[in-house]
Chains A and B, each alone.
Chain A
């Protein structure tokens, strides 16, 4: 691995960028430089300022202080269009494509070649598009409708878009989030190709393996501040993590501790179309079962089935030994199942409602004084869980949308704890929240188990599942590959299992 030549001019350099919003200093003096032919990772916890920085680079926000240099020329970027014109190109996490339009129209979105009378010059459009697609070695053609392409191919369309301009810097924002392994290989080839052409690449990702595989240097943001740049070849995951969180996170392995109760939930041969097949497992009281796998492995879909949001195509669900059919979340709740969903803002909370009302929403029918909602009882519940979970809010009247991610997540957890569930399912419980809240939630999960709750934790973070689970179920492409006890599990065999490698499958 080579450190870029010091004699070169950086393609992109940020100097002391400050961006404030009313009440927040989102970026506080960020500086770093991207060299030509360099893959430069940008890391940081959610909320560290990565997305704000990208918006500054993309011309969506203007910095309050500081300067952007493109090839050492001071540059002001007022609009996304100007960013593109200056050779700064984004491959967005959420694909920004128009699905109804053709590949070619998407690639040249905003700058379709014109003929007289404002007509589109189709010949030129398709010819140029095919030329670019040829470079990328893809399997679809310029006239294909984007909505008909796979996610990976749609991402290729975005990359092709980057190639239409004389790109100096290409910014990849979590590009592998929904790619298969084979698709990742293709993506990394494209990145290597860009690199060899002298393009500077900013690569934003949370995935350490990838970062260490493809990047040359790593810059880290913490709480809006620049906390350092490391040369990838000369560092390790611990050092990066240190920079990101400012301290080491205690993610020591949890050691299983004695008494387990009865089987609270048993699932036998559960299948749901092609989403997942033939899943069997059980969860005992006092036990945390972790589900680990890649995005799309079918974990969330199993949770949704247990919560009555999906129809299983086969199999049975038993609660306390009795077979049940669950047709709606309302029925699931009546059976004592609670789900802290994956998408906090979309599925977990009504952001325009206050804290108290969000917390008591599932039991609002039961908290009655005559025909009315017993607001006193609601406040009591809110106070109880605010204290227990250390939720920081000025009061229950605060709208949930105004809270930080960590406190929002605690409201969701409080909502479901207050239902006193038999089975508590947490889907990505710490996604996108700060480090402090994260370890609080981990401790809480262990506490709940010791109080006799049956808990399922779905997570994409290996340290998290290792830390909180008594047993870990590894899934790959809708199949349950293996169930690990906490004694058996190692990072290696877990990674193998979720990559589809079977070894001495244990029931």
Chain B
């Protein structure tokens, strides 16, 4: 076996082992602490878990590309909120008044377009100015959120369309609409990353940027496309979620970037780029959602969830480093 293969296997399997561990823990702990007498691994509960994973999961797929590519996007939460506002508000615009339910596809398209544009703006700035993606998206996280607040102040933006709600709450083959979207996005992005030239180039750029440049890969436009993809996915996530809820608060999506980056890092994507897997990110998303649900199941409140997620993120980072240490021969610097 080639050196490093074992730890690679360990790492790619680790997230699933973690999920099994969570399931076992919450099932057993649930017997003693649960407030309800329903089992944790109840079928409906698991279906709900998938559905609730969708908003973060859909964006996490985009974040995986961004991070494999060697960038980061902190503005996804704000993009998500802004697209939600466009979605709900555009349905009430007078010019679409006579359209009835035909406004739905138009509003969806507008929301998705907004996401793509916001992503493209991030990408364009990263490409053309050469400013680090961390700073660029840190700035737009603030700026996009500012736009959200400027739109309707601190008031929520609401519009319920019952056709949409029916669509969002529908179940097909037992799975909710949101779950189908999550699965479809996962498959699509998996395909993109593993089967297309664009996806393979993303790995190459994140792994060895100068090599990619020398090989003639156009790094700038490539990065911009990835930012457009994550913008699109943030919008799609908003479309899926707010079609059902029908009301967006200007604070919505805050800390999403934290949850999403946690999911992606839990899935084993390297912070420095070049390595990461969509399937493992899917595992990371499930693991986080399981943790939230599981802790709620055994009677812990949201505060504990925040605490535990933060500590797990740090623990994973620590374990990852220990696995990659080369032992005592390492230079002490």
Contact = CB atoms under 8 A, between A and B. Distances in A.
Contacts of B331: 304, 309-310
Nearest to A58: B214
Contacts of B275: 100
A372 B167 CA distance: 70
Interface in A224-281: 272-275
Interface stretch (B77-85, B89-97, B205-213, B284-292): B205-213
Interface string B146-165: 00000000000000000000
Interface residues of B, number: 30
Interface stretch (A23-31, A107-115, A199-207, A284-292): A107-115
A119 B203 CA distance: 15
Interface string B248-273: 00000000000000000000000000
- Complex A-B, nearest 7 residue pairs according to Cβ-Cβ distance, in ascending order: A81-B216, A110-B215, A96-B211, A98-B207, A148-B2, A109-B215, A110-B216
Given A81-B215, A81-B216, A118-B197, A313 B328 contact: yes
A145 to B, nearest CB: 7
A80 B196 contact: no
B2 A100 contact: no
B321 interface: no
Contacts of A58: 214
Contacts of A310: 329, 331-332
Contacts of B3: 148
Interface string A302-324: 00100011110100000000000
B215 A80 contact: yes
Contacts of B204: 98, 101, 105, 109-110
A98 B333 contact: no
Interface residues of A, number: 37
Contacts of B198: 118
Contacts of B215: 80-81, 84, 96, 109-111
Given A105-B204, A119-B197, A148-B5, A311 B328 contact: yes
B100 interface: no
Contacts of B2: 144-145, 148
Contacts of A361: none
Interface of A: prevailing SS:
loop
Given A119-B196, A313-B328, A100 B212 contact: no
B128 interface: no
Contact of A114 (B197, B208, B274): B197
A81 B215 CA distance: 6
Nearest to B327: A273
Contacts of B211: 96-98, 109
A265 B230 CA distance: 60
A80 B216 contact: yes
Contacts of A144: 2
Contacts of A148: 2-5
A110 B2 CA distance: 27
A79 interface: yes
Nearest to B270: A100
Interface in B205-241: 207-208, 210-217
B216 A79 contact: yes
Contacts of A90: 214
Interface in B160-175: none
Contacts of B210: 96
Interface in A94-139: 96-101, 105, 109-112, 114, 117-120
A309 B214 contact: no
